[in-house]
Amino acid sequence: MERGLVHRAMSTPVGELGLVASEEGLMRIAFVGDDIPETGVGDDIPETGVGTEAAEQHVYRAIEQLKEYFAGERREFEMDLDHGASGFRAETQLALTGVGYGETVTYTELAAMVGRPRAVRAVASACATNPLPIVLPCHRILRADGGLGGYRGGLDAKRWLLRMEGSLRD
């Protein structure tokens, strides 16, 4: 039996975000204009039947916490996730929560944090495919030379997030 998913969009200072939740938890945050078609859902998110009440609660809890984050009232997220990744990619993406609000680390440092110091490219790939940006804060990961590197939501969004958190100053 396929899980019912709930899809919602929200406006934020870094653009419109598409959120998808299952009855297990939040499973996707996508930037409009990056990888979300007009429907507000990523191409890889299946359109399934009507979402369950649990999925509705997960998506609305995520929206409320994201609003608090963008208002400067929240520094950590407390919500159920339906992450979906496995293996090293999942381990790396979940390790992103170890980089606190207002902090940054390099891809090299993140590779060391997950116990694979030579896997810098794999770590960068895991960050690039993070299904839950902002909640799993891949925007806090920088290149070894201190440059921003890439970001699914664009470099302007990454700069904005880092400035808001106080870890990037002009």
Encoding tokens for residue 17? 């975000």
Nearest of 59, 80, 48 to residue 17 by alpha carbon: 59
pTM for this prediction: 0.87
Encoding tokens for residue 98? 């170890």
- CATH number of the domain bearing residue 97: 1.10.10.10
**Tally of domains within the chain:** 2
Q: Which of 5, 41, 138, 164 is catalytic?
A: 138
- Tell whether 125 and 62 lie within a shared domain: no
pLDDT confidence bin for 48, thresholds 50/70/90: very low
Give the pLDDT confidence of 113-147 residue by residue, as tens digits. Answer: 999 999 999 999 999 999 999 999 999 999 999 99
Domain that holds residue 127: 87-165
- Tell whether 102 and 159 lie within a shared domain: yes
Phi, psi angle pair for 148, to nearest 5°: -65, -30
- Tell whether 104 and 157 lie within a shared domain: yes
* Residue 170 confidence (pLDDT): 61
35 domain residue, yes or no = yes
Task: Confirm whether 138 is a catalytic residue.
Answer: yes
- CATH number of the domain bearing residue 24: 3.30.160
Q: DSSP assignment of 79-118, as one string?
A: --B-----HHHHHHHHHGGGS-TT--EEHHHHHHHTT-TT
Cα of 35 vs its chain's centroid, Å: 13
77 domain residue, yes or no = no
